[in-house]
Amino acid sequence: MIDIKFLRENPEIVRENIKKKFRDSKLPLVDTVLELDVKSREIKGQADELRANRNKLSKQIGGLMAKGEREEAEKIKAIVAEQAEHLAQLEKWESDLAAQVTEAMMQIPNIIDDDVPIGKNDEDNVQVTVYGDPVVPEFEIPYHAEIMEKFNGLDLDSARKVAGNGFYYLMGDIARLHSAVISYARDFMIDRGFTYCVPPFMIRSEVVSGVMSFAEMDSMMYKIEGEDLYLIGTSEHSMIGKFIDTIIKEDELPLTLTSYSPCFRKEKGAHGIEERGVYRIHQFEKQEMIVLCKPEESREWFTKLWQNTVDLFRSLDIPVRTLECCSGDLADLKVKSYDVEAWSPRQKKYFEVGSCSNLSDAQARRLKIRVNGKNGKYFAHTLNNTVVAPPRMLIAFLENNLQADGSVKIPEALRAYMGGKEVIE
């Protein structure tokens, strides 16, 4: 959510930003906010005037009572009572208008960074850098579900009976590999100075609306029936929510956290062979990283965060590339985002395994996460990035480490988490 003062002073910049994100249907929201804001300020002015007059009259009443002029005091009390009814009505209007302004403001996209490429959707995303040499072996790489099944490591049929499509059983060495990757990612981030955390896996609606747009909430989140609770789609949600309505001392920044959690997503519209298996699923586990920092440091932290993911994948012998998301592919709260994509030898192309986002002060403004600085209070900047998210990451791992004889090589960095194994046979 942007600052209403900024919108008030720069409505054309806000409109142009909406056009850059190809959200033209949201253009009327700017005029709606401006009109509501004028009314709100008028009502507030009237209410403030009445409050000031009430205080003035209350002092007069006290003075008259002290002089024994009770009759005059009662006349003024009647005026105060009459104005109190009017003030109560003004305060109700004031509250209603403020709620309408907030509702409209929360639908207006955040101002994207100047260097974000302009484009309609993910087809217009721009490759930034490639890390490692993408190799296509001479032998055929099977579909990832087939690789896992050959190790008796995947059971989709039983999961379908138990929970439906989009769920899975991992077993044996594949399940162990899944846990090993998560544990390795945890220690990788701890070694880089991040504090490890296991957060709540459910959050209240006020946190949900603080960390994402209404449209994202509807397409992603599972709600717990009869309760004000949602299953998290990523631990970023509860990790940022940890700081709701808090004031952080400036010298405590940056706050750098890495968190483990299961994640639950509706994943509407999944289709195609690559959407089957364990590529696009309703339940998975993830290691995440988040940062709360000063506004002037968020660009630097953005680069550090996506580089962490690149370094982790390269340590496991997986070629990756970074893509900058174009304007139309950015969610409303994001000002800049990179996708990290891993190489798939079977598909002979890259596919997404993580996403790094800078949300500037949008989440902090919604959740009232403030910093007490030398020159007063301000909203923190928040960033998040995927460290690793198996089982999707397992697809990249298995395809890039599969050997001609059907075995899977275990990179040296991961062997300690696999009981010293150098290969899965």
Q: For 231-257, write each residue's pLDDT tens digit.
A: 999 999 999 999 999 999 999 999 999
Q: Do 61 and 151 share a domain, yes or no?
A: no
47, containing H or E segment: helix 28-67
Domain assignment present for residue 223? The answer is: yes
Position with higher pLDDT, 158 vs 59 = 158
Percent of the chain residues topping a pLDDT of 70: 98
Domain assignment present for residue 114? The answer is: no
Confidence class for position 269, pLDDT limits 50, 70, 90? low
3-state secondary structure 411-423: CHHHHHHHCCCCE
Nearest 5°: phi and psi at 351? -140, 155
Query: Among 105, 131, 158, which residue terminates a domain?
Result: 105
Location of structure tokens 């747009």:
213
Q: Do 88 and 203 share a domain, yes or no?
A: no
Helices (H), 138-234: 144-150, 156-162, 172-191, 205-211, 214-220
pLDDT in tens, 38-60: 999 898 888 888 777 777 777 77
**Is residue 92 pLDDT above 80, yes or no?**
yes
The CA distances from residue 116 to 83, 119, 253, 335, 362, in Å, are: 53, 9, 26, 8, 17
Q: Contact at 8 Å (CB) between 354 and 385? A: yes
**Is residue 275 pLDDT above 90, yes or no?**
no
Question: What is the average pLDDT across 282-299?
Answer: 96
Helices 172-191 and 298-315, axial angle in degrees (round to 10): 140
Q: Could you tell me the CATH number of the domain that includes residue 293?
A: 3.30.930.10
Q: Do 43 and 129 share a domain, yes or no?
A: no
Q: What is the per-residue pLDDT for 115? A: 95
Q: Do 257 and 378 share a domain, yes or no?
A: yes
Q: Do 342 and 271 share a domain, yes or no?
A: yes
Angle at 36 between CA 31 and CA 41, to 5 degrees: 130
Q: Do 35 and 85 share a domain, yes or no?
A: yes
Q: What is the per-residue pLDDT for 46? A: 86
Q: What is the per-residue pLDDT for 54? A: 76
Count of beta carbons in the 10 Å neighbourhood of residue 254:
18
Question: What is the average pLDDT across 356-374?
Answer: 96
Confidence class for position 87, pLDDT limits 50, 70, 90? confident
Query: How many separate domains does the chain show?
Result: 2
Q: Do 91 and 184 share a domain, yes or no?
A: no
Q: Domain of residue 177: give its range.
A: 122-424
Q: Do 37 and 133 share a domain, yes or no?
A: no
Q: What is the per-residue pLDDT for 273? A: 44
Position with higher pLDDT, 391 vs 368 = 368
Q: Which of 68-77, 117-126, 155-164, 317-326 has the lowest mean pLDDT?
A: 68-77
Q: Could you tell me the CATH number of the domain that includes residue 93?
A: 1.10.287.40
Question: What is the average pLDDT across 267-288?
Answer: 75
Q: Contact at 8 Å (CB) between 230 and 203? A: yes
pLDDT in tens, 197-208: 999 999 999 999
Q: What is the per-residue pLDDT for 44? A: 86
Q: Do 173 and 301 share a domain, yes or no?
A: yes
Q: Contact at 8 Å (CB) between 292 and 250? A: no
Q: What is the per-residue pLDDT for 324? A: 98
Q: Contact at 8 Å (CB) between 81 and 38? A: no
Q: Do 296 and 404 share a domain, yes or no?
A: yes
Q: Do 180 and 228 share a domain, yes or no?
A: yes
H helices then E strands: how many in the chain? 14, 18
Highest mean pLDDT of the ranges 52-61, 83-92, 277-286: 277-286
Count of beta carbons in the 10 Å neighbourhood of residue 22:
15
Q: Contact at 8 Å (CB) between 416 and 166? A: no
Q: How far is the C-alpha of 413 from the C-alpha of 425, rounded, in Å?
A: 19
Q: Which of 25-39, 213-227, 233-247, 391-405 has the lowest mean pLDDT?
A: 213-227
Q: Contact at 8 Å (CB) between 33 and 7? A: yes
pTM of the model: 0.88
Q: Do 288 and 261 share a domain, yes or no?
A: yes
Amino acid at 124: D
Q: What is the per-residue pLDDT for 268? A: 64
Q: Which residues contact 61 (CB under 8 A, 6 or more apart)?
A: 73, 76, 77, 80
